Amino acid sequence: MAMIGRYKDGIRAVPGLHVLGEPHLSIVAFGSTGFDIFRVSEVMAAKGWVPGLVQEPRAIHRMMSLIHADSMDEYLDDLRAAVGVVRQEGGRASTIQATY
């Protein structure tokens, strides 16, 4: 659970992102009211990450396990960079859709 807490803290440290709710288990969803979070997921996918999507509210979610601990810093670095790309694009719309 400490690893999940560190992951949630890392998301909250990215300007414009927020964790949805107060998840106590290993599924963590996050979104943004300032930019297209699905566009962030497209940028992350281009870097090799497989983001899960939530339709309402629009969000990215991950089901965390200890296997994610070793790559967490890399993921959070790529997430910060992806948010930067989306902000620089100035409103480019995503083409990806959530299925649930």
Whether residue 100 has pLDDT greater than 70: no
CA angle 98, 17, 3 (to 5 degrees): 90
Percent of the chain residues topping a pLDDT of 90: 74
Q: Rounded mean pLDDT of 13-26?
A: 93
Classify 86 as helix, strand or coil.
helix
Whether residue 44 has pLDDT greater than 70: yes
Q: Rounded mean pLDDT of 73-82?
A: 97
Query: Is 35 in contact with 83 (CB distance < 8 Å)?
Result: yes
Q: What residue type is 4 in one-letter code?
A: I
pTM listed for this prediction: 0.91
Q: Rounded mean pLDDT of 40-44?
A: 97
pLDDT digits (tens, 9 = 90+) for 52-64: 999 999 999 999 8
**Mean pLDDT for all residues in the chain:** 93
| Listed range (35-39, 81-85, 89-93) with the worst mean pLDDT | 89-93
Q: For residue 64, which of 100, 32, 19, 15 has the smallest C-alpha distance?
A: 19
Measured CA to CA in angstroms, residue 29 lies from 7, 8, 88 at distances of 11, 9, 23
How many Å apart are CA 4 and CA 1, to the nearest integer? 5
